[in-house]
Structure 1
Amino acid sequence: MTTAAVPRTVLLIHAFPLSSEMWTAQKAALEAAGLQVLTPNLPGFGGEAGELLGLDQAARLLLDQLPIEPVSVVGLSMGGYIALELLALAPERVGRLVLADTHAQGDDEATTQSREEQAVRVLKEGPGFMIGKAEQEQAPATAAQTRRMTLQASREGIAAALRAMAARPDRRDTLRAAAERGLPVLALVGTQDDLTPPEQAREMARLSGGQVTELAAAGHLSNLDQPEAFNQALLDFLL
């Protein structure tokens, strides 16, 4: 681990197709611990105008909102992809990194095709089909939260984000470079995460020289499924 000062600012990057509202419990816990917390909405989500032209563009937009000194960056799912883009773009601005329920690999052909099909469908039908699928897979309390946030996203924003995720590069070399720098990295994952399972979190920890924490009885949105355990893992790592 690096001997640099622990950052006092934390950037929380939300998941697809949600908004910064997903971080309500984490923001409260981190601020209670004396940290400054930034929870921006990405273009097209949470009522925010615009759409993502690429995940690298998202990283540049977030970089413009950060203080000059290094910050702790926390990203979940799509937010983790963007956190890796930010790290690749400006490694000197990242003092600590938490990658939650995500992975560093690029999409394979089947996933790329699936994202394109979803993008076309959401532009025609809206996000209703995505909500129905989420409600089948998620715990009731989590599904209620994700439904509200998904309905705040624009069709264009959702479609653009799907295509941006499909076009993202493999970032495993970015994690290897982080290991060379001694960047503190935590991979967080729900034990029941079927989309980005624990073995992918373990790979990220291995590549980065970081650590991994697996949260019991949590799925892909582990911060919503098990907020207290997620918060404690963050506090233990970021303070």
Structure 2
Amino acid sequence: MISKLKIRGINLVYEDMGTGDVIVFIHGQPFNRSMWNYQSQVFSKTNRLIVPDLRGYGESITTESIVLLDELALDIIYLLNELNISKAVFVGLSMGGQVALEIYRLAPHLVKGLVLADTDARAEDATSYLNRKALAKRLLTDGMESYTTQNIGHYLCKNTFDTKQEVVDHLNTMMINTDAAGAAAVQLGRAERRDHSGILSNIDFPTLIIVGDQDVFTPVSTAEYMQTRISKAALAIIKDAGHMPNMEQPEQFNQLLKNYLDKL
């Protein structure tokens, strides 16, 4: 069921489906909640799923000029409070993984489990900080269609482009239809994000780290960096996948998630 709640000054749009233990799926950038369709159709049969459009993405419109990752995390914390949810497993991909770590930092009592997919716990370095700010400016001046044309090739591996046109089309549609102003505001916020390396050692529950074997944004070495710092972390590398393994290889991704949930 698609729902809307006034959360911290905006109408936050989210899907609430299924019953049972709660899983919160947090999308990356520049995407929306539909990137999790490949999971929701499976896990809604066994769990209650909360799948929001983050502030500035999809149907959750914002007019702020900068949106910090803290704000995205607080939106979800407030949403779960409104829904009387006291414990959940958080599944975040890319920026969504960074938001999940922010939720853990701000409200560790909410976190029953963590699945960190194709993400990085570290802050920007000096170069990537400037690149992130320049990208925000480009999104505003050139628009999402230009960004998508130039960059969609980085998100998926060659096998996906060659054999899964429906996935390519879905990703293309999500990216083009993202609000440029919303994406730019969050890019500026991501430039300022915290380094979460220090809190990784505090995570004392089983954690699953997933990465596509051909991810160019957050490669396997980045996933290994997090795994070595989380005492109960398992690392799974998905073959024939880039930055979006949940879309590119949903069967593998879903089996890994199911196995993780069964162990929890």
- Corresponding residue of 1:107: 124
| Shift in Å, 1:197 | 0.7
Is 1:149 the counterpart of 2:162 in the alignment? no
Is 1:197 the counterpart of 2:219 in the alignment? yes
Structure 2 counterpart of 1:39, from 51, 59, 66 = 51
- Corresponding residue of 2:15: none
Structure 1 counterpart of 2:32, from 6, 9, 19 = 19
Is 1:185 the counterpart of 2:204 in the alignment? no
Q: CA separation in 1, counterparts of 2:180 and 2:51?
A: 22
Per the alignment, in what secondary structure is the counterpart of residue 111 of structure 1? helix
Q: CA separation in 2, counterparts of 1:76 and 1:61?
A: 17
Q: Residue by residue, what CA displacement relative to the aligned partner does 1:54-88 show, whole Å, maximum 9, x if unpaired? A: 10011010011224421000000000110010000
| Shift in Å, 1:175 | 1.0
- Corresponding residue of 2:236: 213
1:49 partner amino acid? I
2:123 partner amino acid? G
Does the CA-based 8 Å contact 1:45-1:152 persist in structure 2? Answer: no
Q: Residue by residue, what CA displacement relative to the aligned partner does 1:146-204 show, whole Å, maximum 9, x if unpaired? A: 211122221111101111111001001121111xxx22211000011111011111221
What are the ranges of 5 or more consecutive residues in structure 2 without an aligned counterpart?
1-19
Q: CA separation in 2, counterparts of 1:143 and 1:131?
A: 11
- Corresponding residue of 2:141: 124
| Shift in Å, 1:29 | 1.3
Per the alignment, in what secondary structure is the counterpart of residue 65 of structure 1? helix
- Corresponding residue of 1:229: 252
Does the CA-based 8 Å contact 1:47-1:152 persist in structure 2? Answer: no
| Shift in Å, 1:208 | 1.0
Count, aligned residues:
229
Structure 2 counterpart of 1:92, from 100, 109, 125 = 109
Does the CA-based 8 Å contact 1:189-1:213 persist in structure 2? Answer: yes
In the superposition, the TM-score normalised over structure 1's length comes to 0.91
In the superposition, the TM-score normalised over structure 2's length comes to 0.83
- Corresponding residue of 1:72: 89
| Shift in Å, 1:144 | 1.4
Does the CA-based 8 Å contact 2:144-2:177 persist in structure 1? Answer: no
2:193 partner amino acid? R
| Shift in Å, 1:143 | 2.8
Per the alignment, in what secondary structure is the counterpart of residue 24 of structure 2? strand
Q: CA separation in 2, counterparts of 1:186 and 1:136?
A: 27
Does the CA-based 8 Å contact 2:39-2:254 persist in structure 1? Answer: yes
2:26 partner amino acid? I
Does the CA-based 8 Å contact 1:191-1:197 persist in structure 2? Answer: yes
1:150 partner amino acid? M
Over the matched positions of the two proteins, sequence identity in percent amounts to 32
Does the CA-based 8 Å contact 1:104-1:172 persist in structure 2? Answer: yes
What are the ranges of 5 or more consecutive residues in structure 1 without an aligned counterpart?
1-6
